[in-house]
Amino acid sequence: MTLEGKRILLGLTGGVAAYKSAELARALVKAGCDVRAVLTESATRFVGAATLQALTGQTAWLDLWDPRVANQMAHIELSRDRDLIVIAPASADFLAKVANGLADDLLSTLVLARRCPLLVAPAMNVEMWSNPATRRNLLTLQDDGVSIAGPASGDQACGESGLGRMREPAELLDDIEAFFQPKLLAGKRVLVTAGPTEEPIDPVRVITNASSGKMGFAVARAAREAGAEVTLVTGPVSLAAPQGATRIDVRTAAEMFDAVKAAVAGCDVFVAVAAVSDYRVAHPAAQKVKRGAHRTWRLDLVENPDILAWVAKRPRAPFCVGFAAESEKLGEHARAKRRRKGIPLLAANLAQEALGADDNALTLFDDRGEHPLGRGPKIEQARKLIAHVAALMAAQGRRR
Binding site for ligand C5P (CB under 6 A): 193, 253, 272-274, 276, 304, 306-308, 322-324, 337
State how far the alpha carbon of 341 is from the alpha carbons of 91, 226, 264, 319, 337, in Å. 52, 26, 17, 13, 6
Distance (Å, whole) CA 40 – CA 58: 17
Is 240:174 a contact under the CB 8 Å cutoff?
Answer: no
3 state DSSP class of 190: strand
Q: How far is the CB of 335 from ligand C5P (least distance, A)?
A: 13
Q: Which residues of 34-59 are buried (b: 16+ CB within 10 A; e: fewer)?
A: bbbbbbbebbbebbebebbeebbeeb
Q: Which amino acid is at 350?
A: L
Kindly state the DSSP code that residue 67 receives in the 8-state scheme. Answer: T
Q: Are strands 34-39 and 84-90 parallel, antiparallel or unpaired?
A: unpaired
Backbone Cα Rg of the chain: 25
Kindly state the DSSP code that residue 181 receives in the 8-state scheme. Answer: S
Q: How far is the CB of 85 from ligand C5P (least distance, A)?
A: 41
Q: How far is the CB of 346 from ligand C5P (least distance, A)?
A: 8
Smaller CB separation from ligand C5P, 148 or 309:
309
Q: For 203-358, list the strands marked E by DSSP.
A: 205-208, 229-234, 246-249, 269-272, 279-281, 301-303, 319-326, 345-350
Q: How far is the CB of 176 from ligand C5P (least distance, A)?
A: 31
Cβ within 8 Å of residue 364, ≥6 positions away:
345, 346, 347, 370, 371, 372, 373, 385, 388
Smaller CB separation from ligand C5P, 135 or 340:
340
- 33 catalytic residue (yes or no): no
Q: How far is the CB of 265 from ligand C5P (least distance, A)?
A: 17
Cβ within 8 Å of residue 250, ≥6 positions away:
197, 233, 234, 235, 256, 258, 259
Distance (Å, whole) CA 28 – CA 6: 9
Indicate which residue of 33, 116, 158, 267 is catalytic.
158
Smaller CB separation from ligand C5P, 201 or 345:
345
Q: How far is the CB of 197 from ligand C5P (least distance, A)?
A: 8
- Tell me the catalytic residues: 158
